Amino acid sequence: MAELASMTGFSDATQTTEFGAITVELKSVNGRYLELSSRLPEEIRYVEGPLRERIQAVVGRGKLDCRVSIVRDPAASAGRLSAGALAQLTELTRQVHAAVPQAHAMGVGDILRWPGIIESAATDPETWRVPLLQALDRALDGLVQARRREGAALCQALLERCDGIDAILGRLREGVPRILAEMERRLQERLSQALGTALASASITREEINERIRQELTLHGMRSDVAEEMDRLSAHVAEVRRILLQGGAAGRRLDFLMQELNREANTIGSKASVIDMTNAAVELKLLIEQMREQVQNLE
Q: Are strands 34-39 and 62-72 parallel, antiparallel or unpaired?
A: parallel
Determine if residue 3 is left, alpha or beta; phi over 0 gives left, psi from -120 to 50 gives alpha, anything else beta: beta
200: which residues sit within 8 A by CB, 6+ positions away? none
Contact (Cβ atoms closer than 8 angstroms) between residue 45 and residue 12: no
Contact (Cβ atoms closer than 8 angstroms) between residue 169 and residue 230: yes
For the chain, domains (ranges, CATH) are 9-75+126-148 (3.30.230), 79-119 (no CATH)
Comparison of pLDDT for 135 and 81, the residue scoring more: 135
Please state the separation of Cα 265 from the chain's center in Å. Answer: 26
27 forms beta bridges with 10, 65
Comparison of pLDDT for 192 and 135, the residue scoring more: 135
What sign does the dihedral 149-150-156-159 (CA atoms) show?
Answer: negative
Percent above pLDDT 90 for the chain:
46
pLDDT digits (tens, 9 = 90+) for 244-276: 999 888 999 999 999 999 999 998 888 766 677
Residue 85 has φ and ψ, to the nearest 5°, of: -65, -35
Instruction: Provide the residue type at 110 as one letter.
Output: D
pLDDT of 241 > 90? The answer is yes
pLDDT category of residue 52 using cuts at 50, 70 and 90: very high
- Closest-CA residue to 184 (of 226, 150, 213): 213
